[in-house]
């Protein structure tokens, strides 16, 4: 039997899961995910002999909780030699309460529950994951890893909205998200950038959700997402920065309901809304429809505009990192962004960029540009190992002693 940490990352319509050996090893021993929750759920095995297998699931399995239970059975069938001894969860919102991962107890659970209103599309699903594991293995420790925690180092002024100050006291602040991804990048940056990693870096996490983080000495000093993950850059389906007057216009003058507006800015905007074609950057890059081209132009425009603001906050820039789906895999988007950053002295090496090399800038570029694949699940596994399996060797020795007695 191999003791493993199970990592669960529940999104609004997906569940990503991975198992990592307790004994420190960076790569997962099992991986699987379920997508299409709420419409047509599909399971994909991503490791072992079943890797690549796709399985359509019964459409009446609509809750994250029931699907996690199904997935746990599946894990048992695919990998009967694994024994789950701890679980780690991605939890989107930690509010002001959490600036680090936390071992889950009743108080932590209550606090996470209390923050659900701040991330209604994600937090209830994160909680479902925690409850499902507690039902399956009530005795194992669970750890919550927060997407907001990495940004708690932002100076107060970067966290404030220009609203009457009692709102800030009540928690209406710019929190920022994608913190687990940024934490991973900060942890491996020295491998890529050497001692320069301590300088002023901007990391562009460009996936379905997208944001930028300005870091100094590996800590977040500013980010483009705010109170919710709707703020900042244009995303696959989310609008990003929007004049609050537009929301008022839609509600008051167009008679849209609150739910309709919320759906519009979360599910019908961004690349999908502007192109009218797709939220997937690959579809837009392949299309010669002018609407697709305009959506890409706006996506890049927003990135370079907000990146400029972050450079000003950092007082200069020593390096740039691209990560997540688009950042890691789309050479044309990286090229278009870099071309608009020529004023900073950024120069890309076309061949290195085309192959997605680790460093894609030329030797005479004023600053290095890196492509670093992110690993949010690996970060969760590492925190869970530290908080819930602090002394794996001692535990193993204890088990061996018990087995011998």
Burial class (CB in 10 A: 0-12, 13-18, 19+), 288: exposed
Is the separation of the CB atoms in 31 and 20 below 8 Å?
no
For the chain, helix (H) and strand (E) counts, in that order, are 16, 13
- Positive or negative, the Cα torsion across 245, 251, 254, 256? positive
Nearer to ligand ADP, 199 or 378 (CB): 378
Of 28, 88, 129, 207, the one binding ligand ADP by CB under 6 A: 207
Compute the C-alpha angle 121/125/129, nearest 5°. 165
Contact 8, 129 (CB under 8 A): yes
315-354: which residues touch ligand ADP (CB under 6 A)?
324-326, 329-330
Q: 32 or 236: whose CB is closer to ligand ADP?
A: 236
Residue 204's nearest CA partner among 113, 107, 310 is: 310
Binding residues among 234-273 for ligand ADP as defined by CB under 6 A: 236
17 part of the interface to ligand ADP, by CB under 6 A: no
Piece in contact with ligand ADP (CB under 6 A), picked from 119-127, 133-141, 274-282, 303-311 = 274-282
147 given a catalytic annotation: yes
Vertex 264: Cα angle to 263 and 270 (nearest 5): 120
Q: Judge whether 282 is annotated as a binding position.
A: yes
* Nearer residue to ligand ADP within complex by CB, 83 or 329: 329
74 is in an annotated binding site: no
Shortest distance, position 247 Cβ to ligand ADP, whole Å:
24
281 forms part of the interface with ligand ADP (CB under 6 A): yes
Contact status: 44 vs ligand ADP (CB under 6 A): no
Shortest separation between residue 76's beta carbon and ligand ADP, angstroms: 26
Q: Which of 99, 105, 117, 147 is catalytic?
A: 147
126 is annotated as contributing to ligand binding = no
By beta-carbon distance, which residue lies closest to ligand ADP?
Answer: 325
Please give the angle made by the CA atoms of 376, 130 and 39, to the nearest 5 degrees: 80
Query: Can you spell out the DSSP letters for 111-166?
Result: HHHHTGGGSTTTHHHHHHHHHHHHHH-TTS-EEEEESSGGGGGS-HHHH--SS-HH
The span of 56-64, 136-144, 203-211, 390-398 binding ligand ADP (CB under 6 A) equals: 203-211
Task: CB nearer to ligand ADP: give 199 or 207.
Answer: 207
Q: 81 Cβ partners below 8 Å, 6+ apart?
A: 1, 2
Nearest CA among 57, 1, 59 for reference residue 32: 57
Output the known binding site. 9, 16, 90, 205-209, 280-282, 376
Query: Site residues (CB under 6 A) for ligand ADP?
Result: 207-209, 236, 280-282, 285, 324-326, 329-330
Which residues are catalytically annotated? Answer: 147
Output the known binding site for ATP. 16, 205-209, 280-282
Output the known binding site for Mg(2+). 9, 376
């Amino acid at each position: 039997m191999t003791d493993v940490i199970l990592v669960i990352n529940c999104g609004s319509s997906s569940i990503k899961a991975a198992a990592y050996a307790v004994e420190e090893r960076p790569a997962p021993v099992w991986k699987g995910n379920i997508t299409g929750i709420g419409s047509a759920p599909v399971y994909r095995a991503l490791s072992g002999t079943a890797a690549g297998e796709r399985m359509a699931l019964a459409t009446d399995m609509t809750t994250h909780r029931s699907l996690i239970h199904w997935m746990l059975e599946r894990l048992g069938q695919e990998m009967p030699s694994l024994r789950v001894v701890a679980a780690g969860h991605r939890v989107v919102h930690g509010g002001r309460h959490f600036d680090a991962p936390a071992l889950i107890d009743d108080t932590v659970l209550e606090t996470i529950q209390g923050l659900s209103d701040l991330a209604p599309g994600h937090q209830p699903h994160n909680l479902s994951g925690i409850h499902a594991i507690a039902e399956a293995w009530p005795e194992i420790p669970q750890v919550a890893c927060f997407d907001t925690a990495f940004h708690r180092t932002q100076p107060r002024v970067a966290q404030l909205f220009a609203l009457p100050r009692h709102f800030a006291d009540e928690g209406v602040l710019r929190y920022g998200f994608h913190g687990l991804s940024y934490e991973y990048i900060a942890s491996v940056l020295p491998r890529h950038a050497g001692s320069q990693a301590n300088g002023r870096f901007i990391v562009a996490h460009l996936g379905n959700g997208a944001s930028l983080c300005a870091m100094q000495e590996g800590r977040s000093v500013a980010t483009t997402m705010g109170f919710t993950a709707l703020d900042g850059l244009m995303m696959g389906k989310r609008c990003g920065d929007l004049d609050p007057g537009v929301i008022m216009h839609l509600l008051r003058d167009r008679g849209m309901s609150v739910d309709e507006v919320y759906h519009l800015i979360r599910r019908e905007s961004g690349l999908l809304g502007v192109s009218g074609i797709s939220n997937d950057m690959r579809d837009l890059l392949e299309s010669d429809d002018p609407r697709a081209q305009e959506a890409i132009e706006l996506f890049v425009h927003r990135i370079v505009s907000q990146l400029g603001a972050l450079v000003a906050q950092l007082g200069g820039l020593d390096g740039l990192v691209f990560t997540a789906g688009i950042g890691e895999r789309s050479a044309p988007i990286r090229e278009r962004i870099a071309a608009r950053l020529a004023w900073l002295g950024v120069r890309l090496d076309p061949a290195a960029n085309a192959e997605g090399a680790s460093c894609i800038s030329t030797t005479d570029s004023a600053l290095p540009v890196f492509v670093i694949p992110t690993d949010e699940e690996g970060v969760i596994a590492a925190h869970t190992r530290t908080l819930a399996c602090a002394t794996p060797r001692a535990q193993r020795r204890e088990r061996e002693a018990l087995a011998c007695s």
